[in-house]
């Protein structure tokens, strides 16, 4: 295909009859969700995704700035984090990794999420009397990007794992969507880990269970869509009106029109949507890892 997407739900829409892929819709506290499980290597290759479990939540809350719904989305995300990390021993540290470049708004979801995560490892280690039994041992880091640090994020994370008692990793990163309406309206979680930079076609070393030996949960929200995808969709709509419903003819013509020298597109209100999305994800992580209310967590952090 001429377009890329980080969303398993969009990849599956290309061909919903591929064997080795199952999907089901569900609802959690009013938030619509979809679970897709890729269990076959051939299917994984066709979809361009790793074998594993992908859960996405669809919501217009961020786009509409419906802050009353933010907590419901955070709770849904938190519930899935609990499921995916249910086997982690209580005494093990969970490391939250915020990937991306904070100075580039569309790539700053990870670093901004980390700022909202309630970290406690230092409390358990240096102030054990202050530790609440409802707290989970949590660390967090934003390793920056290769072009700034000269270091692969995967190497930084690997070094931390070798020197700290890390039981699981939660990686947060910006994603790329196939369709513009999915930007900031789809939150995806997967137990397959992540390849930093994959959303913009710049793949780096993977951060996953295969490379690190411990469970890695990846969370992301699409912040960009490729210009070629928008051009393709517009061309299909225009050509279908001009040439009738010959789908093959329309598709071939649209592919020729869509540029190969690609650019990514973001919404004009991206500063607000990125900050709000990061807040939703960090709240979800906090609710999943600690048996504390968000008000209690806020009291500890400020």
Domain contains 261: no
* pLDDT tens-place string over residues 219-251: 999 999 988 787 777 777 777 776 666 666 666
Provide the 10 A C-beta neighbour count for residue 112: 22
Record the pTM.
0.90
Q: Quick check: 11 pLDDT over 50?
A: yes
Pick the residue with more confidence: 251 or 61? 61
pLDDT of residue 201 exceeding 90: no
Contact 92, 137 (CB under 8 A): yes
Residue 164 lies in a domain: yes
Domain count of the fold of the chain = 1
Does any domain span residue 47? yes
Q: What percent of the chain has pLDDT over 90?
A: 63
pLDDT band at 30 (very low <50, low <70, confident <90, very high): very high
Q: Is 287 a domain residue? A: yes
- Residue 51 maps to a domain: yes
Asked if residue 230 is part of any domain, the answer here is no
CATH number for 154: 3.40.50.1450
Task: Give a three-class secondary structure readout of the chain.
Answer: CCCCCCCHHHHHHCCCCCCCEEEEEEEECCEEEEEEEECCHHHHHHHCCCCEEEEEEECCHHHHCCHHHHHHHHHHHHHHHHHHCCCCCCCCEEEEEECCCCCCHHHCHHHHHHHCCCCCHHHHHHCHHHCCCCCCCEEEECCCCHHHHCCCHHHHHHHHHHHCCEEEEEEEEEEEECCHHHCCCEEEEECCCECCCHHHCCCCCCECHHHHCCCEEEEEEEEEEEHHHHHHHHHHHHHHHHHCCCHHHHHHHHHHHCCCCCCEECCCCHHHHHHHHHHHHHHHHHHHHCCCCHHHHHHHHC
Report yes or no on 90 lying in a domain: yes
Which is more confident, 90 or 253?
90
For the stretch 118-148, pLDDT in tens is: 999 999 888 888 888 899 999 999 998 888 8
Domain that holds residue 37: 8-221+269-301
In a domain, 240, yes or no: no
When mean pLDDT is compared across 72-86, 187-201, 220-234, the lowest value belongs to 187-201
- Residue 281 CA to residue 218 CA, distance in Å, equals 11
- For residue 198, the model assigns a pLDDT of 52
């Amino acid at each position: 295909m001429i377009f890329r997407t980080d969303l398993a739900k969009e990849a599956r829409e290309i061909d919903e009859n591929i064997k080795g892929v199952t999907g089901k819709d569900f609802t959690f506290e009013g938030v619509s969700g979809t679970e897709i499980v890729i269990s076959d290597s051939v299917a994984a290759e066709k979809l361009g995704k790793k074998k594993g479990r992908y859960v996405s939540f669809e919501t217009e809350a961020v786009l509409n700035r419906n802050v009353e719904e933010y907590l419901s989305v955070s709770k849904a995300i938190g519930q899935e984090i609990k499921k995916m990390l249910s086997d982690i021993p209580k005494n093990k540290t969970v490391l939250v990794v915020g990937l991306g470049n904070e100075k580039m708004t569309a790539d700053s979801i990870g670093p901004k999420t980390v700022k909202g995560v309630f970290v406690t490892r230092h409390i358990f280690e240096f102030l054990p009397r202050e530790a609440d039994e409802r707290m989970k041992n949590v660390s967090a880091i934003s390793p920056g990007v290769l072009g700034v640090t000269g270091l692969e994020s995967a190497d930084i994370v690997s070094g931390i794992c070798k020197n700290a008692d890390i039981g699981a990793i939660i990686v947060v990163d910006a994603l790329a969507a196939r369709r513009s309406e999915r930007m900031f309206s789809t939150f995806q979680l997967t137990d397959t880990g992540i390849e930093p930079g994959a959303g913009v076609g710049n793949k780096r070393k993977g951060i996953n269970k295969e490379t690190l030996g411990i469970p890695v949960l990846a969370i992301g929200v699409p912040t960009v869509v490729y210009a070629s995808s928008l051009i393709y969709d517009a061309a299909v709509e225009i050509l279908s009106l001009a040439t009738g419903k010959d789908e093959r003819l329309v598709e071939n013509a649209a592919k020729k029109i869509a540029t190969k020298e690609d650019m990514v597109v973001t919404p004009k209100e991206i500063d607000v949507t990125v900050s709000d999305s990061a807040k939703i994800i960090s709240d979800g992580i906090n609710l999943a890892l600690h048996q504390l209310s968000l008000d209690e967590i806020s009291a500890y952090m400020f």
